[in-house]
Structure 1
Amino acid sequence: MVKLNPNGTRFVTLPNGYHLWTQTQGRGQIRLMTLHGGPGGTNEVFENFAQELAPYGVRVTRYDQLGSFFSDQPDFSDPANQKRFLNIDYFVDEVENVRQQLGIDHFYLLGQSWGGVLAIEYALKYGEHLKGLILSSMIDNLDEYLVNINKIREKMFSPEDVAYMQQVEARHAFDDAKYQALVNELGEHYLHHAADPQPRHLISTLATPVYHHFQGDNEFVMVGALKNWDRRADIHRITVPTYLTFGGHETMPLTAAERMAKTIPHATLHVTPNAGHGQMLDNPTDYFSHLGQWLTQTDAKPPLSAN
């Protein structure tokens, strides 16, 4: 009988027959699972989580969602696959399938950006398996995000550049060189906000069919399936301890984060200074020290009553 190391890399086979890349690292009693952003991004933003959280006794599991770079990639040009997989319900149930396959229970779930959407939905549907929830740079609706991202655009760029971008978007000419340069400038200031924060590849690792379906062409063009996602009326039903962490120089509106901290019954809000949307890359010292402290303090407390 083959025995696998409980830590390390393994592929899990989902009930639908597809395979997902997973990796578990670290030692300790605190179990943390991470959900990457995008949509269609990769797990690589979490590569050092086990190392950084080792002083706090945290064991970290990360994986690539279906369609993402290291996992199986269905043919999303097939309408049947689009209907079957490109919806929030599928990806939430995928989290539960991964949890079951890896034998994880009573764990902490961390969602970054799009992963935060899935984490909120998981907490509402499968909250009995959670000891705590961590939302990293994600609010509970997209309306407030869209208002904020366009305010950022108006502040960053001249009226002429904003008008130019809007004209390009009206024509759907998203490969326009000047437009792409302006979008990249947003990324350097608000998404990354550090000199060289991103994992590097020689080719793009973004699952563009997934990103385009849910998001649109870029951060300004929210025309995809996520556009109307809104859980403001429901987040009060999240009863597990919840840690909200946002960058101080963030694409997500901090006013929404403050509202969430007041609405979710057992929530703690932290703002990472000198950091954008990718806080863990921009200011890792602050990000990991506060996250680790919250995890250990929360885990040491008796479980909250279901009532």
Structure 2
Amino acid sequence: MPKINPNGTRFITLSNGYHLWTQTQGTGDIQLLCLHGGPGGTNEVFENFAERLAPYHVRVSRYDQLGSFYSDQPDFNDPANREQFFNIEYYVDEVEEVRQQLGLDHFFLLGQSWGGVLDIEYALKYGEHLAGVILSSMIDNLDEYITSVNQIRESMFSADEISYMHTVESQHNFSDAHYQELVAQLGEEYLHHAADPQPRHLISTMATPVYNYFQGDNEFVMVGALKDWDRRGYIQQINVPMYLTFGGHETMPLGAASRMAAEAQHALLHVTPHAGHGQMLDNPDDYFAGLGEYLTDVHTGRFND
């Protein structure tokens, strides 16, 4: 058998036969596995995590979930594939397979947005493998998020614009050009709050079938399967140190984040100033300083001292 460098880029083969793109970078005793958002997003938001966390001696692993960008793309028009893969349980068990194949244990798991859903579910099912949990812009239910994002809409747009959006949504005419412009304003203001341009591609990298099934058509229209996800009352069952990090100007309600921090056994809440839902892009200096300090404190036994 050829010896594979534990760092670098490689594809792993799951027990279902599909392949996932993975990459591990950095050195140190602290192991961090990152779960991207979406659903159907990509690993790329974590591209510089190993570099930014190098002063804290963190080894960072990331991957594209099944159906996303560099990883295999099942035919989601096939009902059998939809039944097998379009559920949270599949993606949680996928995290466990990735952990095993990358040789991680007593590791930190960071979930960004949708990745935070998987983070919570993984901690409840496979918590014995974790050193800590990082929820990056994700709360423990979708009800409070839906309320928050629609309150943002009410504050951003005029009564006529809101009426227009509701009409488009009732007609399922989501490709309407003006409607798309209004939705894009939400993204520029709350998903990515910084003035600097965000990473761009020449083509769409979103796994649209995955996003549409779990989320819906956009951030305002939460009609997908994920809308009923609710783990309120379960956070206190997670017995490893938790780090809850949110942007100060984002779509997730900070009130819910404060509640979670109070309910958890061992938790620290951090709000990244001048940042939206993509905190690590909007204000990286603050984001990585807080994350690095948390990882170091837990690793050295100083957390919550």
Q: TM-score, normalised by structure 2?
A: 0.98
User: Is the 8 Å Cα contact of residues 244 and 270 (structure 1) preserved in structure 2?
Assistant: yes
Report the counterpart of residue 216 of structure 2 in structure 1.
216
Equivalent-residue separation in structure 2 for 1:131 and 1:199 (angstroms):
31
Q: Does 1:9 align with 2:6?
A: no
User: Is the 8 Å Cα contact of residues 37 and 112 (structure 2) preserved in structure 1?
Assistant: yes
Q: Does 1:39 align with 2:39?
A: yes
Paired residue type of 1:134: I
What do residues 51-80 of structure 1 show as CA deviations (whole Å, max 9, x unaligned)?
A: 000000000000000000000000000111
| Deviates further, 18-27 or 191-200 | 191-200
Equivalent-residue separation in structure 1 for 2:253 and 2:65 (angstroms):
26
Aligned partner of residue 227 in structure 1, secondary structure: helix
- Please show how residues 39-118 of structure 1 align to structure 2 within 5 Å: 39-118=39-118
Q: Does 1:228 align with 2:228?
A: yes
Equivalent-residue separation in structure 1 for 2:3 and 2:214 (angstroms):
39
- Compute the displacement of 1:197 (Å): 4.8
User: Is the 8 Å Cα contact of residues 197 and 281 (structure 1) preserved in structure 2?
Assistant: no
Report the counterpart of residue 200 of structure 2 in structure 1.
200
Unaligned runs of 5+ in 2: none
- Compute the displacement of 1:196 (Å): 3.7
- Please show how residues 14-25 of structure 1 align to structure 2 within 5 Å: 14-25=14-25
Aligned partner of residue 84 in structure 2, secondary structure: helix
Aligned partner of residue 31 in structure 2, secondary structure: strand
Paired residue type of 1:173: N
Structure 1 pair 39/255, CA: closer, same or farther in 2 (3 Å)?
A: same
Paired residue type of 1:76: F
Equivalent-residue separation in structure 2 for 1:218 and 1:303 (angstroms):
38
Equivalent-residue separation in structure 1 for 2:45 and 2:198 (angstroms):
8
Unaligned runs of 5+ in 1: none
- Compute the displacement of 1:301 (Å): 0.7
Equivalent-residue separation in structure 2 for 1:97 and 1:227 (angstroms):
26
**Which portions of structure 1, spanning 4 or more consecutive aligned residues, are displaced by more than 6 angstroms?**
none
User: Is the 8 Å Cα contact of residues 38 and 211 (structure 1) preserved in structure 2?
Assistant: yes
- Compute the displacement of 1:199 (Å): 2.3
- Please show how residues 239-258 of structure 1 align to structure 2 within 5 Å: 239-258=239-258
Q: TM-score, normalised by structure 1?
A: 0.98
User: Is the 8 Å Cα contact of residues 197 and 282 (structure 1) preserved in structure 2?
Assistant: no
- Compute the displacement of 1:200 (Å): 1.7
What do residues 182-201 of structure 1 show as CA deviations (whole Å, max 9, x unaligned)?
A: 00000000001123453221
Paired residue type of 1:132: G
Report the counterpart of residue 291 of structure 1 in structure 2.
291
Report the counterpart of residue 125 of structure 1 in structure 2.
125
Equivalent-residue separation in structure 2 for 1:276 and 1:240 (angstroms):
27
What do residues 125-180 of structure 1 show as CA deviations (whole Å, max 9, x unaligned)?
A: 00000000000000000000000000000000001101110111111000001100
Report the counterpart of residue 154 of structure 2 in structure 1.
154
Paired residue type of 2:246: F
Equivalent-residue separation in structure 1 for 2:131 and 2:151 (angstroms):
36
Equivalent-residue separation in structure 1 for 2:165 and 2:120 (angstroms):
32
Equivalent-residue separation in structure 2 for 1:292 and 1:137 (angstroms):
17
User: Is the 8 Å Cα contact of residues 297 and 303 (structure 2) preserved in structure 1?
Assistant: no
Report the counterpart of residue 28 of structure 1 in structure 2.
28
Aligned partner of residue 59 in structure 1, secondary structure: strand
Q: Does 1:143 align with 2:147?
A: no
Equivalent-residue separation in structure 2 for 1:185 and 1:23 (angstroms):
33
- Please show how residues 176-195 of structure 1 align to structure 2 within 5 Å: 176-195=176-195
Equivalent-residue separation in structure 1 for 2:36 and 2:199 (angstroms):
13
Aligned partner of residue 271 in structure 1, secondary structure: strand
Aligned partner of residue 220 in structure 1, secondary structure: coil
Structure 1 pair 248/302, CA: closer, same or farther in 2 (3 Å)?
A: closer
Percent of residue pairs bearing the same amino acid type = 74
Paired residue type of 1:99: R
How many residues are paired up?
A: 304
Q: What is the RMSD computed on CA atoms of the aligned residues?
A: 1.1
Q: Does 1:167 align with 2:167?
A: yes
